[in-house]
Amino acid sequence: MSDEASSPDSTPRAVDTPRYLIILSTVLAVALIIAVITAAKITVDRKVYAPMAMGPVDAPEASSQVCADFVDRLPGDLGRFRAVELREPAPSGAAGYRDSSGAELSVRCGVNVPDQYTVLSPVFSAGEVRWTAVSDATPGSDLRTWYAVGGSPAVAVTTSADVGGALGAVGSALSSIYDANSPAKPAPYPLSDAPVAGGSDGSGGETDSPACRKFLDSLPTALGSWRLVHTSTGSGRLSDQAKFGSLPEDVSRSALDKAPSGSATYLADDREPVVIRCGLAIPKSYAPGAQLTQVDDVPWFSDPSLSRGSTMGHWYALGHEQIVGLAMPQSAGDEVIASVTSAISSSLKKTEKQPAPAQQ
C-alpha cells in the first residue's frame, strides 16, 4: 500500500454547521408555528365571537337611563362568556355574550316579567339579586331565561348553555342601581281566578262538593316528574302533608297557603307547577261547537286565552258532573292529562248535558 493511500489527510471530513444557524432555524420554526396558531386562533375567534343578532322583545323600560347605566356596568366577561358586539339594529338596554364554543347569552334590561312567574315559582339569590327561571316551551328548544324579580327594572338573562357564574356577575352589576323596593309582583296561584260553579267570589260553590272531594282523593301522588305536595277543599281542610314528597328547592311552603279551594298542587324540580281544580264553571272562551280533544271518555277543552308570555296551558274536562280545570306546562306531555283523565273517569259521573257557554 502506498504512503499516499494511508495518509490521514485523505480521510473525508464532516462540515460543521455554525451553531448560530441552528439556533436561528429553530427560532424561525417556532415563530412560524406560533404565527400559524395565532392566525388560526384569530380566525376562530372572529367566527366564534362575531356580532350577535338580538330581535325585539317586550321591554318597556329598555330605553330608560337606569337600563343604560346597567349595561355600562356590565363586565366584559360573565364567567366563561365574553362580551360581543350587537348587530344593527341593536335593541336598547341589551348586551350579548358568547363562550368559546359559540353558545350565546343575552342580557336584556327593562323587560316584562312573564305571567308564569307565580306565587309558586322558585326564587333564589345570585349577586345579591333575587331570580326565577323559566324554560322555553317551544318544542326542541333548550333555551332558559332567568328573570331578576327582586326589584325594578326587571332583567332577563337567556342562554341554552350552563349559565354558571354569569347570573352572579349580572346581579352584582344590577344590585347597586335598581329599586329593591319595587319587586316584580307574581301572578296569582294557577286557576285561583277561574270562575267557580255555584260561587261568585272564586271560592266555595261546587269546589267543596262531595263529588270534588272524591275526585281529589282519587288523584295519584305523582304525575310523571311532578309530586303531589298539597290538596285543599272549600272548607279549608288541608291534606296530611307528611305523606307527600318534599318541596322543590327554593319553594316556600307558605306559598301553598294561597291554594284555591278544591285544588291539588303538584311540583317538580326546575319545572312549572301542575295545578288541578274541581268544581269550576265553563270558561268564557268556550262556545258551542268549540273544538274538543277526546281522551278516553273525557272531552277536554283547551282555553286559548293564554296570558302574556305564558308557557302554561289551561284545560277543562267536560262531560262529567263537575268541570275539572288543569293548569300545566305545555311541555308536560300526555302523561299528566292521561292520569287526570283516569281519576275523572273513576270518580265523577258522566253526564250527557252539554255545558252552557259562560255569560259574557
pLDDT digits (tens, 9 = 90+) for 102-122: 999 999 999 999 888 889 888
User: Is it true that 65-175 and 205-347 share their CATH fold?
Assistant: yes
Higher pLDDT, 296 or 233: 296
What are the boundaries of each domain within the chain? Answer: 65-175, 205-347
pLDDT score, position 236: 45
Q: How many CA atoms lie within 13 A of 335 on its CB side?
A: 10
Looking at residue 75, what DSSP letter applies? -
Cell of 268: 317538580
Does residue 43 surpass a pLDDT of 60?
no
Strands laid side by side in the 323-329 sheet: 222-223, 226-232, 263-267, 274-280, 323-329, 312-317, 298-303, 293-295
CA 349/CA 97 separation, integer angstroms: 56
Does residue 246 surpass a pLDDT of 80?
no
Residue 173, amino acid: A
For domain 205-347, is the CATH number 1.10.3210?
A: no
pTM, whole model, 2 decimals? 0.76
Does residue 241 surpass a pLDDT of 50?
no
Q: Which residues pair with 340 in a beta bridge?
A: none
Which CATH class for the 65-175 domain? alpha beta
Higher pLDDT, 202 or 181: 181
Cell of 131: 331570580
Residue 66, amino acid: V
Does residue 129 surpass a pLDDT of 60?
yes
Does residue 88 surpass a pLDDT of 80?
yes
Average confidence (pLDDT) over 63-75: 95
pLDDT score, position 163: 93
Residue 100 Cα to chain centre, angstroms: 23
- Quick: pLDDT tens for 286-323: 888 888 999 999 999 988 765 445 577 899 999 999 99
